Structure 1
Amino acid sequence: MLEWLFSGFKNIYAQLGEVSGIGATCHLLRICGKTILIDFGVSISRNGEFQVQGYPAGDFLIGRHIDLIIITHAHLDHFGALPRLVRHHPESKIIMSRLASDPIAYALGDSLKIMSEEWNKSRRLGVEIGEPLFTYSDLADLLQSDSVICVDLPSWLGNKNPESVLGDGWAGWQIGFDDSGHDIGAMMILITDPNKQNYFFTGDVCSHDQIFVQGVMLPDRSFCGDFFDHPGLVMITEATNGGKPMVQTPDQAIGQLGRKLEEVEVRGGSVLIAAFSKNRCSKIALACIELGYVPFVDGSGRTMMRFELGEDRVDLLIKSGKLIFADEDRKHPEIAQEQRRALLNDELGFHPIIAPSGTFEGGYSVNWAKDLLPNPKNAVIFPGYVFPASVSKQVLEMEKGRTISLNVFSPKLRKPVPTPVNVRCEVCHFDGFTSHDYQDGLVERVRLAKPAMLIVHHCPGEESFNAFSAKVAELPNPPTVIWGQHQTVVELR
């Protein structure tokens, strides 16, 4: 597959993932005879009532040698198809940060469970959506593999001697990793090849401080030395918000949330915050606590909060009465069910409800939505990225009083059941909690890094790319700017 990628060029970059905007992220680098894949995620689409996961182009590059796979962070659009990729490439070493490794393992198991449920449901109804992307055996093989290397941030692989970690053939290379500010354990990548050419891959990146993640502009000089002083740097950056200046600071976003919570509480309603479990549940829960509210966290958001904030901190928040978790005793699910019933019936007072998934494709947020959407006093808030094909997008845009089908989990049947739900409550999208840099932060990073070539990906569209590249063009000695579009080869310097 993709024969054109492996002929005619010496050093190349190709983006194999997202067709437009955020998708199944995957970047291929061929440098000095090495093939490096950065990320291997999934995209989400719908086939009628079914959720379908897509994966990067190239049929997993079967038959091609992949030297190194690097996973930048623990979001499914960056690692969701990794077990299947590793099945076909036992020769590859896989690198991820130590802080991302546990959330990745947990999320892969959760994702496989959802894919299996969707596939089994489609088979019963005679609809072809394809088998799950990977198997439980694939997942076990990945989690037990000696080829997985977990790195601390910041660090240079093998203390600037990658051969000691990757084996023969890596003499003269240097590969470094540092925090990107996007999420706990999310990382930037610094590569120097044997010809002393430098490559800077930002990963998903954020320079403004978030509630529990410190923003990062560039790696500190004490770590990277003169890396950015060498001419000819190739920089690869995301630009999710490249077309948008920051219009709301994180503090202003918290203020907006506080006003909405107060407004709904005064009118006697309830608030559901449908958030992605990774990063967003912790962030929103801490924001609610800062505002003086006691949030109720449900579903996998509980597990991710323990990964991100630490067991001791979470337990202290719960013990001090600042945080409520849906009871975690799996042997007695009736305890959590009673909590949910009491909260719905206003027996516990006003508590913002935080539950994944942020797409409304499934998860506990959907079960809460079934009861909250029909009541005009309530509000549903989406604080994360809204995917174009998602149910959350439909709910946000639909006329009040219309009905939508949600996949509500049935405890009796032990499976999701399509359920008609009338949407009559207020539905909001708060964009200020983003963990991606806005245009000003992205451009400032380019100014400081001083690349000769800038490859841009994660753009929502041509208008956004043009707006970002126009700002970059205003810099002193601006770089050559290239849009890393789907399956387009970029010859590197």
Structure 2
Amino acid sequence: MIETASLRFLGGTGTVTGSKFLVSCDSGRVLVDCGLYQGDRELRRRNWAAFPGTVFDLDAIVLSHAHLDHCGFLPRLVRHGYSGPVYCSPWTAEVAAIVLRDAAHLQEEDAEHAARRGSSRHDPPLPLFDSADAEKAIGLFRPLPYGRTQPVGDLHDLTVRLRRAGHILGSSTVEVRAEGRSVGFSGDLGRGSHPLLAPPDPVPAVDALVVESTYGDRRHPPRDLERLADPIRRTIARGGVVLVPAFAIDRTPLLLMALRELMRSGALPTVPVYVDSPMALAALDVYRQAVRENSPEIAPAVRESPTDPFDPGELHLVPDQEQSRRLNNPPGPCVLISASGMATGGRVVHHLESLAPETRNLILLPGFQVAGTRGRALLDGAKALKIFGQYVPVRAEVVGVDDLSAHADADGVLSWLRTAPEPPRACYVVHGEPGPAAALAARIGTELGWCAVVPHHAERVLL
């Protein structure tokens, strides 16, 4: 019955992490995004909570893109028995495989570390999921080209369709049609001026629309790479190291493109640039493949370039741990790009331990930092960080820049919403902290005249 079609917000509400949205009807149930919670302890505890209902009731999962806060909970559901299809774009299938394998490795490492230190409440400490779970999840991927309508189950009363979102390679907006009702999901929406990717496709005609609000109360400044160049130039001049905690997916390629532009123009001296993240190196290979194959997701100017768009001139790729350890004390001025992007784990934490206490160094934060992460603490002016159980002083210069953000700002989201052929009956504002979500909902109501609502966690609405 049409009245039974519903939408439930199981994550990504009141926060920019853990996105999960459940569409239910008589014909079946589809989970749109399957994100891991990151940030403060209370949010991370949600990752251990039981999934509402049972995973055996799910007929399909759809991933909007490969960032951990949209796909990272998938191996956990697989561990508990999910074995159905996972629809995503072909490039998302490539990139998400890298992300999930890395996440499983970190989960296993964290459990081993806790066992050695005796720092867990559990005996023995267990990972949220392991590499076997990740491999099973990757085996469920069903690549779905943009624009193709995919039935879920044997009936055609429940379908999914993907369109280009322009956020990272493979990112998609998602349309679900359920028994005569329809709901669209922005996923994470890209910027129209993205230097690497083509812009998002227009909004489809839907009854309800779920839209992100990461930057819902902000406008990105006009792209000006001098904001990036100035602190780097200062650091190099004083003999320091530029440490960049960067998201391996998209942010690292974008940063390399920006450094290439600045160094080739003379705005920055050419110094060694190190990429120290196995996941970033694997993702960079996929991005290079997309450029070589002239993927329509890549911006035309990049596809037409005769040279490698990701090589600033002295690019050094760091695959192994011994090379990484040597970079805790680099021999001279350089740019060191390492993951994770919010400094919650990975090799960058070791670099922070060594480099943060030195005043000549720079910690450059080129992306959104979730509350409760080391990256956010640094942006908020922390004078010390807790790393491996001990506090490390922060004397290095800390600078945040938004020029490389892959998220649309408030104006960008509004511009995308204006492409809708007709107003939805309701617009649900998610994937934002409370202030930005409320601000964007207010603008949608005022400027577009739509019914815009910020839903609560676990709230259910009829479609």
Task: State how 1:337-348 maps to structure 2 within 5 Å.
Answer: 340=327, 344-346=330-332
Which residue number in structure 2 is paired with residue 200 of structure 1? 184
User: In 2 relative to 1, CA 144–446 (structure 1 residues): closer, same or farther, beyond 3 Å?
Assistant: closer
Alignment CA distance shift 1:80-1:263 (3 Å)? same
Distance 1:312 1:454 in 2: 35
Question: C-alpha separation between the residues in 2 aligned to 1:45 and 1:327?
Answer: 27
Look up the match of 1:352.
335
Q: Do structure 1's residue 188 and structure 2's residue 173 form an aligned pair?
A: yes
Measure, in 1, the Cα distance between the counterparts of 2:94 and 2:309: 22
Question: Unpaired segments of 5 or more residues in structure 1?
Answer: 1-7, 220-226, 408-417
Establish whether residue 168 from structure 1 lines up as the match of residue 154 from structure 2. yes
- Between the aligned partners of 1:366 and 1:207, the Cα distance in structure 2 is 29
> What does residue 197 of structure 2 align with?
213
In the superposition, relative to structure 1, how do residues 271 and 27 fare at CA in structure 2: closer, same or farther (>3 Å)? same
CA-to-partner distance for each residue in 1:235-290, whole Å, 9 max, x for gaps? Answer: 1111111122x2412x22x2210112112222332211111111111111111111
Could you say which residue in structure 1 is the equivalent of 2:74? 82
1:308 to 287, 304, 323: 287
Q: CA deviation at 1:441?
A: 1.7
2:28 & 2:36 partners in 1: Cα distance?
24
2:237 maps to 1:271: no
State the match for 1:437 in structure 2.
408
- Structure 1-normalised TM-score? 0.80
Bigger Rg over Cα: 1
315 and 204 in structure 1: CA distance in 2 versus 1, 3 angstrom threshold = same
**1:310-338 deviation line (CA, Å, top 9, x unaligned):** 3987997499772422343x5xx656656
User: Equivalent residue for 1:455?
Assistant: 428
Contact 1:68–1:93 (CA<8 Å) still a contact in 2?
yes
Amino acid aligned to 1:31? C
Change in CA separation of 1:369 and 1:315 when aligned onto 2, cut-off 3 Å: farther
Give the letter aligned to residue 23 of structure 1: T
CA distance in 1, matches of 2:239, 2:462: 60
Indicate conservation of the 8 Å contact 2:165/2:188, yes or no: yes
1:106 is the counterpart of 2:98: yes
- Measured in 2, the distance between the counterparts of 1:54 and 1:315 equals 47
Greater mean alpha carbon deviation, residues 61-70 or residues 99-108: 61-70
Q: State yes or no: 1:282 paired with 2:257.
A: no
**Pick aligned residue for 1:466 from 435, 438, 454:** 438
Say which of 4, 16, 21 aligns to 1:10: 4
The structural deviation recorded for 1:42 is 1.0
Counterpart check, 1:94 vs 2:86: yes
Say if 2:338 is the partner of 1:367. no
Q: Map 1:210-249 onto structure 2 (within 5 A).
A: 210-216=194-200, 218=202, 227-228=204-205, 233-244=207-218, 246-249=219-222
Q: Secondary structure at the match of 2:86?
A: strand
- Asked whether the 8 Å contact 2:164–2:200 carries over to 1, the reply is yes
CA distance in 1, matches of 2:306, 2:285: 9
Distance 1:290 1:63, change over 3 A: closer
Comparing 379-388 and 437-446, the one that deviates more = 437-446
Residues 47 and 66 of structure 1, relative CA distance in 2, 3 Å threshold:
closer
Helix, strand or coil at the partner of 2:452:
strand
Paired with 1:98 and 1:431, the residues of 2 have a C-alpha distance of 29
Question: 1:17–1:351: structure 2 CA closer, same or farther, 3 Å change rule?
Answer: same
Hey, what does 2:27 align to over in structure 1? Answer: 33
Matched AA of 2:283: M
2: distance between equivalents of 1:53 and 1:308?
Answer: 33
Looking at structure 2, the residues matched to 480 and 387 of structure 1 have their Cα atoms a distance apart, in angstroms, of 28
Whether 2:57 is the aligned partner of 1:43: answer no
The one-letter amino acid paired with 2:171 is A
Instruction: Confirm or deny: 8 A CA contact 1:177 1:189 kept in the other structure.
Output: yes
Backbone CA RMSD of aligned residues: 3.1
The residue that corresponds to 2:456 in the other structure is 485
Question: Per the alignment, in what secondary structure is the counterpart of residue 242 of structure 1?
Answer: coil
| Structure 2 residue aligned with 1:379 | 362
Match of 1:406 among 387, 400, 409: 387
What is the rounded CA distance, in whole Å, between the counterparts of 1:319 and 1:445 in structure 2? 29
**Separation in 2 of the partners of 1:284 and 1:46?**
27
CA contact (8 A) 2:324 2:347 kept: no
Distance in 1, Cα, partners of 2:172 & 2:41: 34
Report the AA paired with residue 406 of structure 1.
I
Residue 222 of structure 1 corresponds to none
Kindly provide the amino acid, as one letter, of the partner of residue 108 in structure 2: S
Kept in 1, the 8 Å contact 2:34–2:72? The answer is yes
**Change in 2 beyond 3 A, CA 1:311/1:29:** closer
- Could you tell me which amino acid in structure 2 is paired with residue 206 of structure 1? G
SS in 2 for 1:352: strand
Larger relative contact order (CA 8 Å, sep ≥ 6):
2
Could you tell me which runs of 5 or more consecutive residues in structure 2 were left unpaired when the two chains were aligned: 264-269, 293-304
Could you say if the C-alpha distance between residues 117 and 320 of structure 1 is closer, same or farther in structure 2, counting changes exceeding 3 Å? closer
Residues 446 and 77 from structure 1, CA distance in 2 versus in 1: closer, same or farther, beyond 3 angstroms?
A: same
User: Residues 480 and 322 from structure 1, CA distance in 2 versus in 1: closer, same or farther, beyond 3 angstroms?
Assistant: same
In structure 1, the partner of 2:142 is 149
Q: Contact 2:217–2:436 (CA<8 Å) still a contact in 1?
A: yes
Percent identity of equivalent pairs = 21
CA contact (8 A) 1:68 1:92 kept: yes
Match of 1:296 in 2: 274
SS in 2 for 1:459: coil
Contact 2:63 2:86 in 1 (8 A): yes
CA contact (8 A) 1:44 1:54 kept: no
Structure 1's 172 and 38: CA in aligned 2 closer, same or farther, altered over 3 A? closer
Deviations 1:179-214 (A, max 9, x none): 10111101011233442x332221111242222122
Distance change in 2, residues 1:336/1:131 (3 Å) = closer
SS at match of 2:4: coil
Partners of 1:172 and 1:45 in 2: how far apart?
A: 38
Distance 1:57 1:485, change over 3 A: farther
Q: Aligned in 2, Cα 1:17/1:334: closer, same or farther, shift over 3 Å?
A: closer
Q: 1:469 to 1:142 in 2, by over 3 A?
A: closer
Aligned residue pairs, count: 438
Change over 3 Å in CA distance of 1:453–1:312 after alignment to 2: closer
Paired amino acid for 2:432: C
**Which residue in 2 is equivalent to 1:140?**
135
Contact 2:210/2:429 (8 A) holds in 1 = yes
Displacement, 1:234? 1.4
Residues 57 and 483 (structure 1), Cα distance of their counterparts in 2 relative to 1, 3 Å cut: farther
Contact kept, 8 Å, 1:16 with 1:58, in 2: the verdict is no
